[in-house]
Amino acid sequence: MLSPGPRRRWYYVWSSDDTVRSIDLLSNQYSNLSIKMDSQPRGMATADGNLVVVAGINDISLLENDLKVATHPIDYEASSVTIHPKEQEIAVGGNKDHKVHVYVLKGHNIEEKTTMDHAGAITDVRFSPDGQYLAASDSNRMVRLYISSSYELAHNLDWCFHTARVNCIGWSPDSKFLATGSLDTGVIIWSTEQPTKHINIKKAHPQSQITRLAWLDNSTIVSAGQDSNVKIWEIKFS
């Protein structure tokens, strides 16, 4: 599920029947939109609410103005996708190939720009709101921060303080912090300005892995777990 940018009246969702649909938040009902994908979707992203990128098991599809305008086959299994907020670039996480794939958007076509290798399956990719960074997490407990202008590592530190697979990433609105949620039931807050420091919220959802994170503002995080709980955290980073 994602919020399509400025058009905050709508949310796009995908389901196991390989379709993408939208929900009208005013009526709390599905719209008439139903777009059949060529393979099972694994991630969706949008920057402006008009162009939506859907990463599937076998392909990457582009939706524009509620229509599927292009489908591009891929030779790996995608797990996640993110769109650069300012540039015509997308990043796609690879599951079995353990790579982050960066593409340039050229109209309705995509051209691979570079790839970054990880030691485990990529579980999530997220550009920072200001577009300066790309964060990627993997099944080998690692969180990596890349500079989006070059896609080189932002620092040489190992952000691997989770004890199990990292599931999800969430950026603060000011792009100074990112939160990661894990199979280990914990949430870790990382600082882009002070990469040697972090806040570790152990057992944030006891006996439940963290499945999604979002920031309400620069000091408030919402976490969701498989325990059917949603929790709100106030963060103080010193």
Q: What would the CATH number be for the domain defined by 118-238?
A: 2.130.10.10
What is residue 27's predicted lDDT score, i.e. its pLDDT? Answer: 85
pLDDT band at 8 (very low <50, low <70, confident <90, very high): low
Distance CA(53)–CA(180), nearest Å, equals 23
pLDDT band at 194 (very low <50, low <70, confident <90, very high): very high
Structure-token match 């969180």, residue found = 143
pLDDT tens-digit profile of 55-107? 999 999 999 988 999 999 999 999 999 999 999 999 999 999 999 999 999 99
What is residue 65's predicted lDDT score, i.e. its pLDDT? Answer: 84
Asked whether 122 and 98 are in contact (CB, 8 A), the reply is yes
What is residue 5's predicted lDDT score, i.e. its pLDDT? Answer: 42
Mean pLDDT of 45-54: 87
Mean pLDDT of 35-63: 92
pLDDT tens-digit profile of 119-172? 999 999 999 999 999 999 999 999 999 999 999 999 999 999 999 999 999 999
What is residue 23's predicted lDDT score, i.e. its pLDDT? Answer: 85
Q: Which residues contact 209 (CB under 8 A, 6 or more apart)?
A: 164, 167, 181, 182, 183, 184, 185, 225, 226
Asked whether 40 and 56 are in contact (CB, 8 A), the reply is yes
Distance CA(18)–CA(42), nearest Å, equals 10
Structure-token match 């990128």, residue found = 53
What is residue 31's predicted lDDT score, i.e. its pLDDT? Answer: 82
26 three-state secondary structure: coil
pLDDT of 221 > 80? The answer is yes
Mean pLDDT of 184-211: 97
Q: Which burial class, exposed, middle or buried, applies to 236 when counting CB atoms under 10 A from its CB (0-12, 13-18, 19+)? A: exposed
Q: What is the DSSP letter of 205?
A: S
Q: What is the DSSP letter of 17?
A: T
Q: Please name every residue paired with 224 in a beta bridge, in sequence order, or none if there are none.
A: 212, 230
Residue type, 90: I
